[in-house]
Amino acid sequence: MTYIYRYRSPLGGITVSSNGDAITGLWFDGQKYFGLTLPKCYEERALPVFKETKEWLDIYFGGKDPGFMPPLKMETTPFRRSVWNIMLNIPYGKTMTYGQIADNIATRRGLSRMSAQAVGGAVGHNAISLIIPCHRVVGTNGSLTGYAGGIERKIQLLALEKTDISKFYIPKK
């Protein structure tokens, strides 16, 4: 069974899903790819994993690094899982480029190169936003692109983490 929890953040509603033991999804309501791993049948229920996730979100939106991770279950392909695992290691307040992630995966796989566009697809389909910090991934040229929750939210999240966003290019609408 899949369970959900709804959280009210300063940046809008968030829906969190769980298998009962671990977080399987976290999306801003209405974002691109909303509910990607959410089945048609689910139940809203209070669970210990949601209490832990609420605590994580409260600390995060309070402007601090939570310093812990609720249990996660990444229901995805092996390639996306490898990208998401790299994103989990981007420190709070820091960023990494799509190209750096591609280079990291290429090195791990013994390849001469990896497509940054393929990495971008995996980043964009991240089903556990915020906790797996896809908002910390930026273009090689410093462009703030590719956030399924919207560029404005990406900017707000980076600013919340006190990331120096003055060095990034913000695309015009």
Residue type, 4: I
Instruction: Return the DSSP state at 18.
Output: E
CA distance 149 to 31: 5
For residue 50, what are the contacts with CB-CB under 8 A and spacing of at least 6? 3, 5, 16, 18
In the set 134, 138, 144, 158, the catalytic residue is 134
Cβ contact 134:87 at 8 Å:
yes
For 21-40, give the DSSP string. SSEEEEEETT-TTTTTT--S
CA distance 160 to 165: 11
SS3 call for 108: helix
The answer to whether 134 is a known catalytic residue is yes
Which residues have a catalytic role annotated? 134
